[in-house]
Amino acid sequence: MRSVGVEEELLLVDAESGEPRAVSAAVLDAAARESAGDEQVFESELQREQLEFATRPQTRMAELAAEIHRCRAEAAQHAEDAGVAVAALATSPLPVSPSVAMDSRYHWMAERFGLTLQEQLTCGCHVHVSVDSDEEGVAVLDRIRPWLSVLLALSANSPFWQGRDSSYSSYRSQVWGRWPSAGPTGIFGSADQYHQRVRDMVGTGVLRDEGMIYFDARLSHRYPTVEVRVADVCLNPGATVLHAVLVRGLVETAARQWQAGEPPARHGEHLLRLAAWQAARYGFKGRLLHPLSMRPAPAETVVRALFDHVRDSLDAYGDTKPAQDALARLLGDGNGAAVQRAILERTGSMRDVVTECVRLTGEGRG
């Protein structure tokens, strides 16, 4: 079975006011004290208002769910020790002036990219799925491209920006898209061509290193995995698990297509960008671009097409029924963006949006 690991970025906020707090160093110190001698789960991120964790690779989704809940609970405890709270929000609903982490790499990026970096207080979810080789990994990247926008629609959890409604379901993706290396990719064709493209991009000097290859999906430069990076961090950990299940299903389905000699869809990057924009704007309400035709279709039809596309792989891993149930809950309750807007409509307060989402992050409901 292909193993799956998840990285989630969380927002550090004042538990009372809901305002982001630049205290990642204090939270990491608290984590280090608690886990002295153990493997470190938590890391700093670009901005000091963020905390990242990475699960251990798992093959069973129940174990992955337990890992995500454990890591979120530990993050909440370490944050409390530092006098703050954690919220699984992909952008801050309240106004914020982010603070770049004290890291030489990040300071190089700040000097190079200016306001683009300064405004990058965004929290995503990255899913790693094991592959047998770079050749298989690139074949997967070539074949999952049209489906990534659907994953973005399901995960969308960033409707607010600097105290205002952005009109988007995932405004994080719009902010993240300002990086020159971010977004969808064309067809690579082979591992050699993938690596040559990465070398050429780094060789321009615009990017500091391979870690700044911010494709929506890429080969990990640290692990033997395909890393899918398109999603917002999900408010509900159950939605994170569903996202991971669907990503593994896409990877397995694409690998089987490659082994059977089926070519990838030839959609150009310009169409994939439009599909991603539509998903970011509307989430799974209204219409999305269908990954097969790249024409508008009801969002429910598109989501069902994704599920049908990966069903054989879900069946092979025993994931079909849990994924069906999780997807039904998500479609019924709404994604994080819908939940946040519902809280604002009920309370009239951005502060209450944040403090309620702190609770939902810890309790896993929403």
Q: Which domains does the chain have, with CATH numbers?
A: 4-363 (3.30.590.20)
CA distance linking residue 47 with residue 70, whole number of Å: 23
Predicted confidence at residue 35, as pLDDT, reads 73
Q: Residue 37's pLDDT is what? A: 60
Give CA angle at 180 (24, 278), nearest 5°: 90
Q: Taking the CA of residue 142 as centre, how many other CA atoms within 13 Å lie in the half-sphere pointing to its CB?
A: 23
Please state, in angstroms and rounded to a whole number, the distance separating the CA atoms of residues 154 and 246. 11
Instruction: Identify the bridge partners of residue 42 per DSSP, sorted by sequence position.
Output: 53
The answer to whether the CB of 286 falls within 8 A of the CB of 43 is: no
Total count of residues recorded for the chain: 366
Q: What is the pLDDT of residue 364?
A: 55
- Helix/strand/coil for 60: coil
How far from chain centre, in Å, is Cα 298? 23
Secondary structure class of 262 (helix, strand, coil): coil
Tell me 260's DSSP state: T
Place of tokens 């040559």: 196
Q: What is the pLDDT of residue 39?
A: 73
Q: How far apart are the first and last CA of the chain?
A: 30
Say which residue the tokens 């977004």 belong to. 183
The burial of 354, by beta-carbon neighbours within 10 Å (0-12 exposed, 13-18 middle, 19 or more buried), is given as buried
Nearest to 361 by CA among 151, 5, 89: 89
Angle, helix 134-144 to helix 191-203, in steps of 10 degrees: 80
Q: Mark the ranges of the chain whose per-residue pLDDT is less than 70.
A: 36-38, 364-366
Q: What angle do CA 144, 147, 151 make, to 5 degrees?
A: 115
> pTM of this prediction?
0.96
Closest alpha carbon to 177 in 149, 140, 143, 137: 149
50: three-class secondary structure by DSSP? strand
What the block records as the tokens of 191 is 């591992």
* pLDDT for res 36: 62
Rounded-to-integer distance, Cα 321 and Cα 314, Å: 9
- Return d(Cα 123, Cα 361) in angstroms, integer: 13
